[in-house]
Structure 1
């Protein structure tokens, strides 16, 4: 398996190489040359596997240049009992009629980002050791990516992490998780602005190939295909668990739909990859919050990102994103994987601030299976309350966005699975508003909010960021 760029300017490269690159060398996003297709018999043969074993099988289709024994060890270490609380790693539990919850927040930072980041931490360290290279991760986070990356990479040999986050735009818990770390290879930078400003700074450094090469820059944001491929695993797992009770002769035609709270489009694009690989997914439903640029795109075919001033600070802050960095991968697919057509679309975006794909929009559902919807603060509060009242289960605000939109897209006979974003303990204020219940931190995190915090505040200043990274970058 080799990988190419959406923009056509990168020679096909193996998995271990694109893990270190993040963005493609021409500034585009990395994609598989072709997506492997599995038969119903192959899917069925994976039914009895543990999560780590399933991850080895799925990722083995992507990481064909990594010896299988090494890959299996990395997956065992990533999805170990030391990292994930639930015995099954990803529990799938009924939530209400027609809707089940895919529990992706059993890891060390209580968020779904741990699912891919724990594997990425293992695989990056492995590849660096093999090639005797160093890697300086520059990332941007709206809440959970930062802590998941830092917990997966803290203390790793030959790796430093420079994580950009928007000042005042994350919950107190999210800030404490990141800023309380004291590892010498972890550098937190709070940028004056919104998440999109952080992401733009990150991309500016990566698009300067001379600076990128001089300082061995790498990415762990969802632009890194290593994360996207690792996230595809839990779509396989979710279908297998949802179909466990289905008679064997009916499983091949058993479809599910999946609702995904989404801001940067990486998580749901992983679902598209899984669907394309053969997982029987009928619909991929994108749930947006008030920053609903992606919902508007899927409903109208017009993609029109908003500026910082028009990006709302909401009670589901990890989705406060108006410029989805992974959408380029979907547009690449829609435009027939044609780099020239993609380049024309991106020129249109640069010149007019929008991309008009209204002619292609009917294919979004018919061919690719995408639908979407929007949730507001009032919706989140009402959904958290209704789920709690009916089942006693408390969900976080992002997952509530997912449940609200999932309810609007239920189809008879098609189970709907909602991907959990994070544990509700990370967002106690809205949980109290919705339920009147105050939830405390898990026992192993008691005292987290009281720890000293270590963060560098910085203006939205590319030159200042370059200097900061250059002075602290690690090398071999």
Structure 2
């Protein structure tokens, strides 16, 4: 299996090179040359790790199978449930719990694997790496926990000052490891993401400081997320819809790839909060920036979705020249219109937009009916499947204790706090920068590993 860019400028690179490149050098996103098939009938009687191995083998042919097995075992040994992603049934609904990793968020499933993958590749190549990422909350802490203490790696995580929950910030900052640098940016998540992309566009700077990416622009993250769609299908044992709370389009894009691989998904439901650029894209064929609104589901407070470009690549039949033109137009005008593709888009996805008021009511109603607490992001997904007549799985993206303000507002009390979250009480390592590319580049120059 070889990999290429959605914008034509990179092709015929190996999986390991794709991982290390992160964002393609032409500004595009890395995709596989073809999407392999994986028969869902072949997963019967398999556990999560076995399914992961089967899927990873299809995409990874430049790492020995024994090493892939070791990476899987090491990555998921940190989870507090043997099933890794247990499935809970509530009437016709299912909740796929993706929050049993070390930071209690779905990002752990990909980032524990990616952290170990980086360490493996760097050791084999005798190289060093400076990881640069932006987070709207959970990615940052998951990346830090996936990379802290690892050899030959330093990690720089940008997050919006006052734009993440207190627990999320503590998880990033209550860290002793000297290879970790949480950076609070005076701006929004989109500002953080813009800085990352601009820095990666500077090929000379990227090469000099050995920069790599842990954001969902790194294909290895998408690969790891495909696994739990198959695992959920195994547990439900029938065709289902998947409701996916998403802001960056990465989690639901993994489901889209699973469907292309042969998983019989009835429907992919894209659940957004009031930052609804993806909802407007699916419903009206318009992808246009708005101002970021601060909501009760902060990890989805995003207006420019990192993985949207990957979907465009498949929407336009893998025409990388067309994708390049579209992204240039979007960067120039902040808007794209897809009148000619609306029927195809709506056959791939349905979409639902959920307000803060609806989030609170959904948390309250679900607890009242099932005595089960869902976090505000998961509430967006649950609200989006209430009217579905077919069985539906909602991806539960985070432990509710990470968003105590919303839970207390909805229920009048806090969700039980896992022991490891309860221990967080200080902000040991935190660095502040303005929202400029130059300021962050200067910080990297001062602290990067050579």
Q: Smaller-chain TM-score range?
A: over 0.9
Tell me which stretches of 4 or more aligned residues in structure 1 moved more than 4 Å.
Answer: none
Shift in Å at residue 465 of structure 1? 0.8
SS in 2 for 1:380: helix
Alignment of 1:239-250 (within 5 A): 239-243=233-237
SS in 2 for 1:359: helix
CA displacement, residues 349-402 of structure 1 (integer Å, 9 cap, x when unaligned): 133221111110111133xx2110100111011000111001100000000011
Cα pair 2:38 2:55 within 8 Å, conserved: no
**Could you tell me which residue of structure 2 aligns to residue 358 of structure 1?**
339
The partner residue of 2:300 within 319, 344, 361 is 319
SS in 2 for 1:23: coil
The partner residue of 2:352 within 373, 398, 417 is 373
Unaligned 5+ residue runs, structure 1?
Answer: 244-253
CA displacement, residues 387-419 of structure 1 (integer Å, 9 cap, x when unaligned): 1001100000000011001213x13xx310000
Alignment of 1:44-443 (within 5 A): 44-80=41-77, 83-95=78-90, 97-243=91-237, 254-306=238-290, 310-366=291-347, 369-408=348-387, 410-411=388-389, 414-443=390-419
Shift in Å at residue 85 of structure 1? 1.0
Q: Matched residues in 1 for 2:324 and 2:206: separation? A: 22
SS in 2 for 1:260: strand
CA displacement, residues 254-306 of structure 1 (integer Å, 9 cap, x when unaligned): 42110100000001000011110011111111000010010000111111022
Q: Matched residues in 1 for 2:427 and 2:286: separation? A: 45
CA displacement, residues 69-89 of structure 1 (integer Å, 9 cap, x when unaligned): 110111011111xx1111211
**Could you tell me which residue of structure 1 aligns to residue 30 of structure 2?**
30
With normalisation by structure 2, the TM-score equals 0.98
With normalisation by structure 1, the TM-score equals 0.93
RMSD across aligned positions (CA):
1.1
CA displacement, residues 94-149 of structure 1 (integer Å, 9 cap, x when unaligned): 13x32100010001000000010111111111111111111110000000000000
SS in 1 for 2:296: coil
Q: Matched residues in 2 for 1:296 and 1:104: separation? A: 27
Are residue 21 (structure 1) and residue 21 (structure 2) matched? yes
Q: Tell me whether 333-342 or 44-53 shows the greater mean CA deviation.
A: 44-53
Q: Matched residues in 2 for 1:206 and 1:301: separation? A: 29
Cα pair 1:100 1:418 within 8 Å, conserved: yes
Cα pair 2:275 2:301 within 8 Å, conserved: yes
CA displacement, residues 32-65 of structure 1 (integer Å, 9 cap, x when unaligned): 10000123xxx32322222112111111111111
Cα pair 1:105 1:421 within 8 Å, conserved: yes
SS in 2 for 1:355: strand
